[in-house]
Chains A and B, each alone.
Chain A
């Protein structure tokens, strides 16, 4: 089937969205942005294709019947199993790479010892891997580096101690390997991984064995559907580094506007607070941008600011919102200057102000700055869509609702937990429209 890919190369994460010919989303992928945007783009689109495959499975299994209500459980198990296969594969790559780096002066005389230790570490990692992907398991994140890293450190410390080896030798090979491993495209075909994952699921879930005959043909048939990438559009910070020609690039503002429109066709004003920039966008009824404003050099009040605050307060980023919600008396904070964030925080704490009040005030200050940019872009017109990482912060959302109600009246405010994909979604739709337009023109010429 024909698919249209949108890739958003952000400063923190890279997202990919896959659309079918009907503008329906069939797959989404996300990965850490790294120094190598090409790799990030490739990994994200690969993830989107994997997700797309699952969507096809879902559609096929849903239509075919045979598993009934257990379709969801089955697909969840398949996905977990697939992720486990991916993880194991990368783990193998990491092991090979680490072992390959055990040479030179630093390891002189201890090569075999270190290699044995590595073998032990990776054996343990492989053994505990299924647990990490068991049903209900909570992982800190889905990125390989995050998952593998902390476990590696824990095991390596232990093994090194027992083996009487300096811990930093094991660290050294890890540090030197992880970036390469992260940036290497996955070896082997997607199909093989799926089959292995499927085999594992069927092994573990005996109840499905009986329905195997019904499932397998559907799965095989679905495997056979090629996901043909008919057109690709890139957007985001990193887009200029890609070897795409102009027709395959769209500004992030346009992609964002169109993406928001696709999620909420009635939206007219879009606010995006990203990691380091804030965009205010006005779109028309077709999702085409009519007006926009961005912050200038000063990134005050963007997502990073909250990151600094979290660091200053020794909290997790996701804990800021809930704590701020506890306040009913937000402190009046007039500046979101990141440079002075720490000093202002300490000053107020020392004056006896409560943490939750300060946090609530900070959230309000961020939203005030965002409203400022929205103001300059043309104000707030019903409906209002709020996207970006900060949109997941309930305290920020609370302040936003208040400010909009006070200054613009009753306005429908749209917030989508998947809003991080907005730019990629818009890019994918641009890809679809560009392809359609091209095909139409060809048809007209014929």
Chain B
């Protein structure tokens, strides 16, 4: 299976993605900004923002998901007590250490009270940066939540237009929607491939590839996805006798890469997850005709993923997205990996677990922090889980 010089191998692509992941100074984004005058970068935190709008303004959307386990937090700890998760302190660390000095705006989605309050802190600490708390509706009626949301989007469009110095047009928005539709399709394709043949697309690799989408211009990311899909389809990789699991954790704060690797080492194929949900939040193509903001709003209301921060109005529906994820991906169990102190993940967990129990789906649960170093307990639990699934499933 000799690859020609012009076709990158999976290893090459993953190496590039790993380099982007390791780079806490965001050189790729800096270079993009420096490449032409007037370019701007707008950062966003998990779990979802409509990146199309940032893109339509000609700006680079930059996903900020904390500093990870390679960043020591020194100054960030001055802002948070010990019983609050790590992502806000490492994000502040990125800010005060100058690593985000090229970023012109920051969006803080409404996912929890910590990130909510961080939006106000950011305004005070970095007054020269456009910082916005990005609210989404918890009411899903088109004429109520929908209207509210359309107005929210319009405010954002307005603000970014001012930041750019030129209003954003509907044409630009539609074009951006098209580009992101494509990117989402590719991510879904990758997830589908992994669910079908997890040995071809190891979870840690998929994670790095998808995560690259947070720092690369979306067009480049789509290319990377295409390349990776082609490369892994061309390779034959060894199969393992692993069980298949869905990993869920709300994942604003990300697990260390070693944790994802440990799961697989311990005998679990990750066939679906809610890591980096922003890359697949809208579950179908957003229409390109008509009012783009209205389309984005309707997509959010009726065709988006579920997560703890999103209210589920129908009791019967609560937790069913997880059951469907298990069925769709052919998983045998669920691993709840929650960040320590995370209200959304930890408060939602018992309800989701009840739903899984009723559906006869086994699960385990543990907590982690973005800088967890002890993988041994995790390998233990995941390993035992994998064994027990194989035992009970009779294989």
- Direct contact, A vs B (beta carbon within 8 Å): yes
In the complex, whether B248 has a CB less than 8 A from a CB of chain A is no
- Chain B interface main SS type: loop
A372 to B374, CA, bound (A): 21
The answer to whether A334 touches B372 (Cβ under 8 A) is: yes
- A347 to chain B minimum Cβ distance, whole angstroms, is 5
Is B81's beta carbon under 8 Å from chain A? yes
B77: chain A residues within 8 A (beta carbon): 371-373, 375-376
The interface bits of chain B over 363-393 (1 if a CB of A lies within 8 angstroms of the residue's CB, else 0) are 0000001011110100000000000000000
**CB <8 Å contact, B374 and A296:** no
A298 and B376 within 8 A (CB): no
Contact A298 B372 (CB under 8 A): no
Residue from B69, B74, B75 in contact with A334 in the complex, judged by beta carbons closer than 8 Å? B69
The chain A residue with its CB closest to the CB of B78 is A375
A208 near B: Cβ within 8 Å?
no
User: Which residue from A295, A347, A403 sits with its C-beta under 8 Å from B376?
Assistant: A347
Residue pair B72, A379 in contact (C-beta under 8 Å): no
Is the beta-carbon distance between A296 and B74 smaller than 8 angstroms? no
Q: Decide: A344 and B81 in contact? CB cutoff 8 A.
A: no
| Residue from the set A296, A334, A376 with the largest chain B CB neighbour count within 10 Å | A334
A332 at the interface (CB under 8 A from B): yes
Chain A interface, number of residues (Cβ within 8 angstroms): 20
A347 to B376, CA, bound (A): 7
Residues of A within 8 Å of B4, CB to CB, are none
Chain A residues within 8 Å of B72, by CB: 368
A334 touches B81 (CB 8 A): no
Give the contacting residue for B374; candidates A335, A373, A379; CB below 8 A: A335
The chain A residue with its CB closest to the CB of B97 is A407
Q: Mark A324-337, 1 if CB is under 8 A from B, else 0.
A: 00000000111100
Given contacts A296-B81, A298-B82, A334-B69, whether A375 and B74 have CB atoms under 8 Å apart is yes
Q: How far is the CA of A333 from the CA of B75 in the complex (A)?
A: 18
Q: Which of B348-372 contact A (CB under 8 A)?
A: 369, 371-372
Provide the bound-state CA to CA distance between A343 and B73, in Å.
24
How many inter-chain residue pairs (CB < 8 Å) link A and B? 42
**Which B residues lie within 8 Å of A407 (CB)?**
74-75
Number of interface residues of B (CB under 8 A): 16
**For residue B373, which residues in chain A have a CB less than 8 angstroms away from its CB?**
332-335, 344
- A277-312 CB contacts (< 8 Å) to partner B: 295-296, 298
Q: Contact check, B74 vs A347: say whether CB atoms are below 8 A apart.
A: no
CA distance A335 to B369 in the complex (A): 10
Interface 0/1 of B45-79, CB less than 8 Å to A = 00000000000000000000000010011110110
Residues of B within 8 A of A373 (CB): 77
Shortest A309–chain B CB gap in Å is 15
Question: Which A-chain residue is minimally distant from B80 (CB atoms)?
Answer: A376
Show the binding face of B for A, using Cβ within 8 Å: 69, 72-75, 77-78, 81-83, 369, 371-374, 376
**Can you list 13 A-B contacts (CB < 8 A)?**
A295-B82, A296-B83, A332-B373, A334-B371, A335-B374, A340-B374, A344-B373, A368-B74, A372-B74, A372-B78, A373-B77, A375-B74, A376-B77
Kindly list 20 other residue pairs between chains A and B, CB separation below 8 angstroms, not including A371-B77, A375-B75. Answer: A296-B81, A296-B82, A333-B373, A334-B69, A334-B372, A334-B373, A335-B372, A335-B373, A335-B374, A340-B374, A344-B373, A344-B374, A368-B72, A371-B74, A372-B73, A372-B74, A372-B77, A375-B77, A375-B78, A407-B74
